[in-house]
């Protein structure tokens, strides 16, 4: 569940993260030269980098599937329905086409080599590892799997390379002293977590809009939870009641049952969730917020020193990733995907 709201995905790993969620990927063999040319033809540019058709197709099919989950099966089958959702699809695709090129641009500007033996070795090692661990060392079944997921070996390799470059970017920032907090001043970082208003500890109740459920009823239940919690004026009693809700059948976030909550700084979470969290004072409860396919009721708590100290390395890495995310964001303005005439002629809603 945490991965749903913890959405500061470092941009370069965008495609790789999506691929890994399928639990396995593969090497596509026997691809014809004609098919390769078709998949790798340029359909757009982003800050001087060429966008191939295979990337446009992967991102498009990914968000077509996401919109099906959001609005229901069959939305792309009926022309009228497809027209109704075309603009949203196109906006999502154009927004996420920039992700890999944000990293390429950041690395290029900082003088990090985009091509290297180390990157080549990383790509080969990752592919070999996936084949061995996920497919028993055999390539049988790879083609069917990749076809189902709208992937090509060429694009997968590109995604792995960008993932490697993102790690290189992170360590160049670390070695270059661009992070205010590192393991060298971990005590200062712990003080920051415990004292800064820009760090939050949140527990929540999450009512997911599962298939067959009435979202309006879930919202009403969430509103009632907020009212019930706000009616408890003693902070310790309110926390006790909140924990009862967390342990009840209302709550669909099983990761929350430890009651430690989520510790995060600005830039780590889903924006809607984050904005609601930082609007709260210690002990306060939020109105229901719509996020990640459901409704959250948040309560902000005082960070616990023992927890922060024992988890300081993980929290520090998350904080550094969030700082890096802000650096990546600074390149987004120049990484505006522009489709070519050929790319513009492609009907994304009809893409298969």
Region of poorest pLDDT, from 29-33, 129-133, 277-281: 29-33
Place 141 in a pLDDT band, splitting at 50, 70 and 90. Answer: low
Q: DSSP for 84-150, please give it.
A: HHHHHHHHHHHHHTTHHHHHHHHHHHTT--SS-HHHHHHHHHHHHHHHHHHHTT--TTHHHHHHHHT
Judged against a pLDDT cut of 90, whether residue 276 lies above it is answered with yes
Q: Is the dihedral of CA 281, 286, 289, 293 positive or negative?
A: positive
Instruction: Give 300-327 pLDDT, tens digit per residue.
Output: 999 999 999 999 999 999 999 999 999 9
What is the C-alpha to C-alpha distance for residues 346 and 44, in angstroms, rounded to an integer?
A: 11
The mean predicted confidence, pLDDT, of the chain is 88
| pLDDT of 39 higher than 60 | yes
Task: Look at residue 175 and give its three-state secondary structure.
Answer: helix
Q: Which residues partner with 263 through β-bridges? A: 201
pLDDT the model gives residue 137: 78
CA angle (124 as vertex; 119, 126 as ends), nearest 5? 95
Q: What percent of the chain has pLDDT over 70?
A: 89
Asked whether 180 and 302 are in contact (CB, 8 A), the reply is no
Q: Which residues contact 153 (CB under 8 A, 6 or more apart)?
A: 26, 27, 28, 29, 31, 146
Band (289; pLDDT cuts 50, 70, 90): very high
Q: Residue 232: what pLDDT?
A: 97
Average pLDDT over residues 80-97: 96
- Report whether pLDDT(108) > 60: yes
CA pair distance 207, 256, nearest whole angstrom: 13
Predicted local confidence at residue 86, as pLDDT: 96
pLDDT score for 179: 95
Distance CA 161, CA 323 (A): 22
In degrees, to the nearest 5, what angle opens at C-alpha 52 toward C-alphas 46 and 58? Answer: 105
pLDDT confidence of residue 144: 67
Q: How confident is the model at residue 5 (pLDDT cuts 50, 70, 90)?
A: low
Of 3-12, 241-250, 263-272, where does mean pLDDT reach its minimum? 3-12
């Amino acid at each position: 569940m945490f991965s749903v709201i913890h959405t500061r995905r470092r941009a370069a790993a965008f495609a790789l993260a999506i691929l890994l969620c399928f639990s396995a990927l593969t090497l596509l063999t026997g691809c014809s030269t004609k098919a390769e040319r078709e998949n790798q033809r340029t359909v757009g540019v982003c800050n001087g980098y060429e966008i191939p058709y295979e990337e446009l197709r992967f991102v498009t099919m990914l968000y077509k599937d996401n919109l099906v989950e959001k609005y229901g099966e069959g939305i792309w089958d009926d022309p009228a329905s497809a027209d109704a959702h075309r603009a949203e699809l196109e906006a999502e695709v154009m927004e996420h086409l920039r992700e890999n090129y944000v990293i390429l641009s950041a690395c290029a500007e900082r003088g990090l080599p985009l091509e290297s033996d180390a990157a080549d070795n990383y790509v080969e090692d990752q592919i070999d590892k996936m084949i061995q661990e996920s497919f028993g060392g055999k390539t049988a079944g790879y083609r069917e799997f990749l076809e189902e997921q709208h992937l090509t070996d060429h694009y997968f390799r590109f995604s792995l390379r960008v993932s490697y470059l993102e790690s290189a970017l992170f360590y160049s920032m670390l070695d270059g002293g661009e992070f205010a907090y590192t393991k060298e001043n971990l005590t200062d970082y712990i003080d920051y977590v415990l004292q800064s208003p820009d760090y939050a500890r949140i527990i929540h109740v999450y009512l997911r809009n599962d298939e067959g459920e009435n979202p309006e009823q879930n919202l009403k239940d969430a509103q009632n939870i907020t009212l019930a919690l706000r009616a408890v004026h003693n902070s310790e009693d309110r926390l006790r009641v909140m924990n009862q809700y967390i342990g009840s059948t209302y709550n669909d976030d099983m990761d929350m049952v430890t009651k430690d909550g989520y510790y995060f700084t600005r830039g780590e979470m889903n924006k809607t969730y984050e904005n609601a969290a930082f609007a709260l004072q210690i002990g306060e409860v939020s109105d229901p917020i719509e996020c990640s396919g459901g409704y959250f009721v948040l309560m902000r708590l005082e960070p616990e020193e023992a927890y922060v100290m024992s988890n300081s390395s993980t929290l520090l890495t998350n904080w550094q990733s969030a700082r890096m995310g802000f650096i990546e964001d600074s390149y987004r303005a120049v990484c505006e995907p522009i489709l070519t005439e050929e790319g513009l002629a492609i009907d994304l809603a009809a893409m298969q």
